[in-house]
Amino acid sequence: MAQKLLTTVVHAIDTGIFIFLTEMHKMKINKNFIGGKWVLGEKYIDNINPSDINDNIGFYTQADIDQLELALDTAKTAQKQWAKVGLEKRYDILSKIGHELINESSRIGTILSREEGKTLAEGKGEVYRSGQFFTYYAAEVLRQKGETFASVRENIDIGIYREPLGVVAVISPWNFPMATAAWKIAPALAFGNSVLWKPANLTPASAIALTEIIAKQNVPEGLFQLIMGSGSELGDALVRNPKVDGISFTGSLDVGQKILVEASKNMTKIQMEMGSKNALVVSEDADIDIAVDASVIGAFGGTGQKCTASSRIVVDERVYDEFVEKFVSATSDLRVGNALCEDTQIGPVVSQTQLQSNLDYIKLGVYEGAELACGGKQLSLLSDGYYQSPAVFLKTNNTMQINREEMFAPIACVMKSGSHDESLAIVNDTSFGLMSGIITKSLARAEHFRKEAKTGCVMVNLPTAGTDYHVPFGGRGSSSFGSREQGQYAQEFYTSLKTVYKFSGVAES
């Protein structure tokens, strides 16, 4: 108890939030799930609703290093048991998790929107999609197969087997707090691995909601474990630990680069999805209404906090004026509001730090000579949250910092282009390479774009954001590292190949 009081005092001082110690016994702290049990760590954090900073969603424990070690040891034992479990049982469990997420998407989606700030439709849709990752990988459980080869030598057969990787660390970001984790956890379990999940500290409620569903399943204790804690401490200790067989990370480029260095010291297998600077091209023959819709959805969906966001819009000069007029008008009409209000089209940004970063980018854009056509202002609404009006910059060029750095913000930068080739060159002039898109009526131009765009995904007459769950997702350049996520391609990361040579002896005649 003395330790708990001390921690509370430290926490109160750290965060500036004064908590009456006499109220302590009433306070519920959400726990980590380690070794099949819900357990407290020594410290905790609180979770503030970005739509209303007076709404504290709850308190969430933080795992310490001893708990991490225990979790890793337990995960190793559990993985061995899980690898022996029949496929039908694995199928059933993943299927149950998926269906419960789908059935509960409205309730859990509301929790997700409350803590992340995306609209209710987006929050519920994300939970539903998370369920689909589990039902999809439930089906993949039954499709695991190997290969046989004839040998170049006599009387030898060769078999290629896939085996589980082992203990997988899943590190996920706040912007898709459940879907990103689901598209890693579901294949990891499907292919026979155990999982330690470190979610983003900004969105722990979604992590608890998913864990509660997984915790109900009849699986070995420690097969799936939730370890909440800060990225720079717990996350760092996790990626440095040699007991981890694989790390699947989604987050920023800076953190990804640090993790890569640490993982390389232990030669830990790694897969990473990081930042982006996606461009959408509006061709001279584009249907302008489709172009405007795709740009608005692509640039401002999820408050622009998506790795698939269209942050650069490259418009042919022949349709520039018409496009810009309609795009700026549609952007100005978007309703910014509390994520939990049904008619909100754009929720708040996730945190004060993110809001300040966005406002700094607005200042930078103006300083660089771009014209701010609309938005870019902090908004005071009925509830006190991190609201910003969606911004459109005109007269930008691809050398400006606002067109080179990932802002992760509701800010779109429009560039004018003289030709298809120039547009394509702008699309590819970036260190990232996740998404690109083109709006055109020409099949030939779309095909040319598809072949020449140096990105992992290409969209034709669609927003850059919005992907399916059964096909690979990932990028090139600084956007991704390692093998692709999602679909059957996920098995490249979550399994290890074994080539077996069998000498059958010389047959007696």
Q: Which residues are catalytic?
A: 273, 307
Distance CA 399, CA 319 (A): 23
Backbone angles phi, psi at 156, to 5 degrees: -125, 135
2-61 positions binding ligand NDP, by CB under 6 A: none
Instruction: Report the site for ligand NDP in 477-506 (rule: CB under 6 A).
Output: 479
Nearer to ligand NDP, 220 or 251 (CB): 251
d(CA 199, CA 63): 12
Q: Both ends of the chain: CA-CA distance in Å? A: 81
Cβ atoms of 281 and 427 closer than 8 Å:
yes
Closest contact distance (angstroms) between CB of 232 and ligand NDP is 5
Question: How far apart (Å, rounded) are the C-alpha atoms in residues 304 and 307?
Answer: 9
Q: Please report, as residue ranges, which positions from 419 to 438 form the binding site for ligand NDP (by CB under 6 A).
A: 434
252 or 389, CB closer to ligand NDP?
252
Among 97, 209, 244, 274, binds ligand NDP (CB under 6 A): 274
Distances (CA, A) of 372 to 279, 400, 413: 19, 14, 9
Determine the interface stretch with ligand NDP among 63-71, 187-195, 226-234, 281-289 (rule: CB under 6 A). Answer: 226-234
Site size for ligand NDP (CB under 6 A): 33
Contact 407, 362 (CB under 8 A): no
| Helices assigned H by DSSP within 117-227 | 120-141, 179-190, 204-215
Indicate the SS3 state at residue 196.
Answer: strand
Q: Which residues pair with 282 in a beta bridge?
A: 315, 439
Give the x/- contact pattern for ligand NDP in 314-343, rule: CB under 6 A. ------------------------------
Stretch that binds ligand NDP, among 52-60, 72-80, 166-174, 439-447 (CB under 6 A): 166-174
Q: Does 463 bind ligand NDP (CB under 6 A)?
A: no
State how far Cα 433 lies from the chain centre.
Answer: 16
User: Residue 330 or 412: which CB sits closer to ligand NDP?
Assistant: 412
According to DSSP, the residues that pair with 198 across neighbouring strands are: 171
Q: Helix, strand or coil for residue 391?
A: strand
DSSP 31: P
- Order of strands, sheet of 495-503, starting from the edge strand that comes earlier in the sequence: 147-150, 156-164, 495-503
Contact call for residue 275 and ligand NDP (CB under 6 A): yes
By Cβ distance, which residue is nearest to ligand NDP? Answer: 231
Q: Closer to ligand NDP at the Cβ: 232 or 264? A: 232
Length of the chain: 509
Q: Give me the least distance between CB of 327 and ligand NDP, in Å please.
A: 23
| Among the listed residues 141, 195, 239, 414, the single contact to ligand NDP using CB under 6 A | 239
Q: CB nearer to ligand NDP: give 239 or 282.
A: 239
Q: Which stretch binds ligand NDP (CB under 6 A): 130-138, 172-180, 380-388, 456-464?
A: 172-180
Q: Does 200 bind ligand NDP (CB under 6 A)?
A: yes
Number of CB atoms found within 10 A of residue 401's CB: 12
- Among 221, 236, 285, 322, the residue binding ligand NDP under the rule CB under 6 A is 236
| Residues within the interface to ligand NDP (CB under 6 A) | 171-176, 180, 198-202, 230-232, 235-236, 239, 250-252, 255, 258-259, 273-276, 307, 406, 408, 434, 479
